[in-house]
Amino acid sequence: MDFLHVHGLLIKQPNLLMSLLEMTNLDTWHPDICQLQKLKSYQSLNISDKEKIIHVTKGVLLQQVNNPEICKMNVNAIWSTNDIIFHNVFQQNQYEYLAIGDVEIELFDARSVLDEISKEPFFPDFLIDYNKRQQEEFFQFSYMLTKNIRERVLDVMKRFSKKLPDGYLVPKRVNSLLLAKCCQATPATVKKALDDLKHEKTIVKKEQNLFIQE
């Protein structure tokens, strides 16, 4: 696979790290390189300040950052299946991760992985593409806070939902407590927004789940 081929893939597939690893001689099955973990719903993944690369192979992870000044854990990003997260690799942040539903991850030693793939000529393109996506995720949450609570609730619900031709099917685990955490609002405020959205039929019941109509 030459440089131009890889560069084209980077545009189409932001989470290219796993494909890159397959092209190296790194033993990704070695326990010092990669560990497989399963998290149950609402179980935390706490890896302190270690440099890790997290590959979400199943489920959804909330990336949270502790704000000791207000004694609150704020959601910083939502990562789902096939997403790659660089934990404390480029900057030191005390992030924690919370499983939403059952989650499976591959936890890589960042130094070993980056040292190996840095030998490849397309490595700078991978980093540029990854950092761009990290920034987009951060600004998406920052921009969300400029919206009113009803728009926030709809945006976050769609992130967790299955897209159908006529709208979004919301899983049962998406409740007012989870939405409050992601929208950085109180559960009471979120519940009122949900009631208003149901009243105007933006959100309806479908197959025993909530459904957001397009």
Measured distance CA(20)–CA(116) in Å, rounded: 10
Give the residue-averaged pLDDT of 181-201. 90
Counting Cα atoms < 13 Å in the Cβ hemisphere of 183 gives: 30
Q: What is the pLDDT of residue 182?
A: 85
Q: What is the pLDDT of residue 10?
A: 40
Q: Which residues of 34-52 are buried (b: 16+ CB within 10 A; e: fewer)?
A: beeeebeeeeebebeeebb
Q: What is the pLDDT of residue 129?
A: 65
- Written as six digits, the tokens of 152 are 């926030």
Q: What is the pLDDT of residue 88?
A: 82
Res. 104: pLDDT tops 80: yes
Res. 90: pLDDT tops 80: no
Residue where the block lists tokens 């030693």: 109
Could you report the per-residue pLDDT of 4-63, keeping only the tens digit for each?
444 444 434 445 677 777 777 888 888 889 999 999 998 999 787 788 989 999 999 998
> CA distances (Å), 23 to each of 13, 83, 114, 213, in order?
16, 19, 13, 44
Could you report the per-residue pLDDT of 109-162, keeping only the tens digit for each?
988 888 887 776 666 666 666 666 666 666 666 677 788 999 989 988 998 888
> CA distances (Å), 74 to each of 62, 94, 139, 153, 208, in order?
10, 12, 14, 16, 30
Predicted TM-score of the model (pTM)? 0.71
Res. 3: pLDDT tops 90: no
Contact by Cβ (8 Å): 2, 75: no
Measured distance CA(30)–CA(35) in Å, rounded: 8
Measured distance CA(74)–CA(184) in Å, rounded: 7
